[in-house]
Chain A
Amino acid sequence: MNSIDANIVIWLNALSGNVKLFDDLIRVVASDYLMPMVFSLAMFGLWFSGKNPAERVRYQLTMLVGISALSISNVVVWLFNITWDRPRPFVEHGDQLNLLFYPPTDPSFPANPVAVGFATATAAWTINRKFGWWMFAAAAVYGCSRLYAGVFYPSDIIGGAIVGVAVYGFTSYLRRFLEPLITGFVRLIRGLSAA
């Protein structure tokens, strides 16, 4: 399993260095800022996108669950990290990889950015299937860009995706234990004319 993982990342990373424009695009997509901003903007935009009061409340409650899932997935990834300190691909196969990103110092499994992206995408998918699929695609592209850059193994990406989706499911379930606080919070924001 480990050798398949390593072979995939080495093969994919070997494609780098041929087309500078493509490598530069991957550097921007893989950065800590672009795709997380896309996920945050998706949550923010959906908050205002309901076409009638009922739809608006449904969107806003789902966005709150999505934002909570995003935070909880960071905690779950941290729990994995303290349990299993998996070295990054560039640590184990540095002589075969062309690193396109700064060398992260935290463990490789599961991919934190992918977990966050998939948690957000699942939230979007539950209220708008088409938009949700686009968000899943964005999260997958983000993961693949980190794979191409040589900082994650494929299994880290898959693990991150599973964590993101599972944490969203768990957070949706958790919401019922926090009612009526969450509905009350949305009503307060509506009282301020922002929901």
Chain B
Amino acid sequence: MNTDPDVVWELFAGHYFMFAFLASLGVLQVAVSNVGTRGLWLTPHAGMTRWLGIAFVLTGIAVFFLQPLWVDGPWAAGSVEADSLTRSWGKASWSELAGARNVNDIHGGLDGIKQAMWFSLGAIAAFAVSAVVGTLSVNIFASAENSGDGDQTDSEANGLAGLESRSYIENLPGSFANFRADIGGVWRSGLVKADRWSLMNVLLGRGGASE
């Protein structure tokens, strides 16, 4: 039997990261296929991308909640109903599967802060994978079907709008250049429009000075 909370945390963290990654990848694919952000699609077709996204979400949920069947953890058959500290280490049975993940965070489950951290990492990884695969997909698809047609993209669009017609790698330099060009104006107009008691106006000594 092994109920050392640190060992349980490690186990849960790895499983939860995979859950967050797969589910985030799925939701991202559904969202970008609905609004036409082609540069993040995993496939060249919106419908296929959407169904792939749904499949990723369902796979993430299934893998996370079914894993106790084949991975050793604090959910051995016959012990799931016990207090989560006194559970036996091993694989869960089908009949106990639903409660296998219900481990108190003081006994090795993940508290809200750890979940937020691992979810953020999973979501960033999902975006990165979409950007890389989307870049390959856009370039391969464009070179196969549109070679010699010239640049038909909207050069003004940046950020996610630019990804509707460009790959992530093509879009990044323009987006960042726009950010550098615009941020000064955004900051100054933001300070003018912001409440006179806004944090930055107070820090810059402008609190109460407007009007």
- B159 to chain A minimum Cβ distance, whole angstroms, is 4
Task: For B105, give the chain A residue with the smallest CB separation.
Answer: A32
Contacts of A31 in B (CB 8 A): 101-102
How many residues of chain B get a CB closer than 8 Å to chain A's CBs?
A: 69
Contact call A176/B194, Cβ cutoff below 8 A = yes
Q: How far is the CA of A53 from the CA of B158 in the complex (A)?
A: 10
Q: How far is the CA of A139 from the CA of B21 in the complex (A)?
A: 22
Contact call B198/A179, Cβ cutoff below 8 A = yes
From 115 to 174 in chain A, residues with beta carbon under 8 angstroms from any chain B beta carbon are: 116
Contacts of A87 in B (CB 8 A): none
Given A51-B35, A53-B161, A193-B168: A177 in contact with B102 (beta carbons within 8 A): no
Contact call A179/B179, Cβ cutoff below 8 A = no
Contact call A36/B112, Cβ cutoff below 8 A = yes
From 23 to 73 in chain A, residues with beta carbon under 8 angstroms from any chain B beta carbon are: 23-25, 27-28, 30-34, 36-37, 40-41, 44-53, 56, 71
Partner of A177, one of B61, B99, B187, B197: B197
Contacts of B97 in A (CB 8 A): 24
Q: For the complex, would chain B's binding face be called helix, strand, loop or mixed by DSSP majority?
A: helix
Contact call B23/A41, Cβ cutoff below 8 A = yes
Q: Interface size for chain A: under 10, 10 to 19, 20 to 34, or 35 or more residues?
A: 35 or more
Contacts of B34 in A (CB 8 A): 49
Contacts of A44 in B (CB 8 A): 24, 27-28, 123
Q: Is the CB of B64 closer than 8 A to any CB of chain A?
A: yes
Partner of A33, one of B16, B32, B163, B168: B16
Task: For B28, give the chain A residue with the smallest CB separation.
Answer: A48
Given A32-B110, A50-B35, A179-B198: A37 in contact with B20 (beta carbons within 8 A): yes
Give 7 A-B pairs besides A37-B119, A181-B199 with Cβ atoms closer than 8 angstroms: A28-B101, A31-B101, A37-B23, A41-B57, A45-B30, A48-B31, A177-B198
Listed by A's residue number, 25 A-B pairs whose Cβ atoms lie within 8 Å are: A27-B99, A30-B102, A32-B109, A37-B23, A37-B119, A40-B20, A40-B123, A48-B32, A48-B40, A48-B160, A74-B112, A112-B112, A177-B197, A177-B198, A178-B198, A179-B195, A180-B191, A180-B193, A183-B186, A190-B178, A191-B178, A191-B183, A192-B176, A193-B160, A194-B127
Residues of B within 8 A of A (CB): 16, 19-20, 23-24, 27-28, 30-32, 34-35, 37, 39-40, 57, 61, 64-65, 83-84, 95, 97-99, 101-107, 109-110, 112, 115-116, 119, 123, 127, 131, 158-163, 168, 171-172, 175-176, 178-180, 182-183, 186-187, 189-191, 193-195, 197-200
